[in-house]
Amino acid sequence: MDVNDKIHAQLVKAGVRLAASLPDDWVNTLINKISAGNQIRHVSVGREAETIAVCAGAFFGGVRSVAIFGNTGLLTCTGEMATLCLRHAIPVFCIVSGRGSIDDHKVYQEVQGRRTIPLLQAYDYPFKILDKEEEIEDIPNAYEWHRLQKRPFILFLTKKLLGTNA
Amino acid sequence: MKANECMQVLAKNRGDAVVVCALGMAANEWWAVTKSEDSFYMHGGMGLASTFALGLAIAIPDTPVWVINSDGGLCMNTGTLLTEAGQQQRNMKHFVVDNQCYQTVETMPMVNQDGADYTVMARGAGFQRAITIDNLADLDRKMPEIVAAPGPYFIRLRVEAEPDYQRTPPATYEGPELKYRFGRAMEKKLGIKVFGPRGF
């Protein structure tokens, strides 16, 4: 069982039955595993903010969900996360690639690496950087905790954890 | 036709549908007509009402879900049509109240005010059923077919712009209270659990 299989399994264990996503090459393997499986329904969207809206809507249908996308998308949708999720106190569990880290040398990820965390802190969106495989089993705990926070929560997956060459 | 008149016809044909209202004039009119608590009145996330409704519709596949969207919201995020059409969610209907202006901000003109046809855009995005209705008689006549047909179904309601833009006030509660009222209404209506045993 590889890292993405373990994340998938822990999401299922947390009760997640719906995933909305937009691709980023660090999280595509996870998206593909979810899409290929039959335990979590997968919804492809055209813009990252839509993943937040899909999950917020599913919340009111009693279905646990996850939004999956890249760090660039997180920067694009923090305002909509505020006006929808902070305004109405709706929890949304997000899994986001931790692009722009010191081991990510893509020039188009540089700003994300420097500015994402300060932006999350400004909005008071809680987050956790997941870079150790043994911490994957904390996902169900994190899921319960984010519901209590009543706002978006971001779980960053690192390059070290994913072992990606992208 | 006027938005309030449209909402009266929609309310008459609603049946068991759960309704999501985009922020703005149409939401205010729906509240004025129905005082409905099994409706969600979005206070933000402009442009995301239909995707929010899609997530809800997926979660409760045996219950009809309607979104009453605004033309301004649709224009802000037209890509939502692709997302919605891609899912072919059979229990979802998408109404857009098209008055060609941003009515709640002093009726300023809509982007490309006279040049856009949202129904054609919906068909292009992949909706097999997409229509425009511009008078009450047609709306009244078409609603039973709209209700009975499988979704996704896109209905553009072409209404008059009304200059008294603050005539109809919004729902009388807001943000977090709306969350709990709607969530509890869903629990009661559908027998589901939205909140856990300790309320979150």
| Residue B111 CB coordination number (10 Å) | 13
DSSP code at position B110: P
Q: Are strands B92-98 and B153-158 parallel, antiparallel or unpaired?
A: parallel
Q: Which of B40, B58, B190 to mutate to test the interface with A (most CBs of A within 10 A)?
A: B58
State how far residue A16 is from chain B, nearest Cα, in angstroms: 12
B30-43 residue pLDDT tens: 999 999 999 999 99
Q: For residue A164, what pLDDT is reported?
A: 86
Task: Find the closest chain A residue to B80 by CA distance.
Answer: A46
Contact B90, B151 (CB under 8 A): yes
Return the half-sphere exposure (C-beta side, CA atoms, 13 A cut-off) of residue A146.
28
Q: Do B59 and A43 touch (CB under 8 A)?
A: no
The closest of A38, A33, A50, A160 to A94, measured between CA atoms, is A50
B103 three-state secondary structure = helix
Over residues A54-65, the pLDDT tens digits come to 999 999 999 999
CB contact under 8 A, B58 and A41: yes
Q: Provide the 3-class DSSP secondary structure of residue A125.
A: coil
Hey, what amino acid is at A120? L
Chain B closest-CA separation from residue A42 CA (Å): 10
pLDDT digits (tens, 9 = 90+) for A62-103: 999 999 999 999 999 999 999 999 999 999 999 999 999 999
Q: What is the ipTM of this complex?
A: 0.97
The DSSP symbol for B86 reads H
DSSP structure class, residue A38: S
Query: What residues does A97 pair with on adjacent strands?
Result: A157
The shortest CB-CB distance from A57 to any of B43, B56, B196 is to: B56
CA distance A153 to chain B (A): 15
CB distance B45–A49 less than 8 Å? yes
Is A62's CB within 8 Å of B200's CB? no
Cβ contact B94:B48 at 8 Å: no
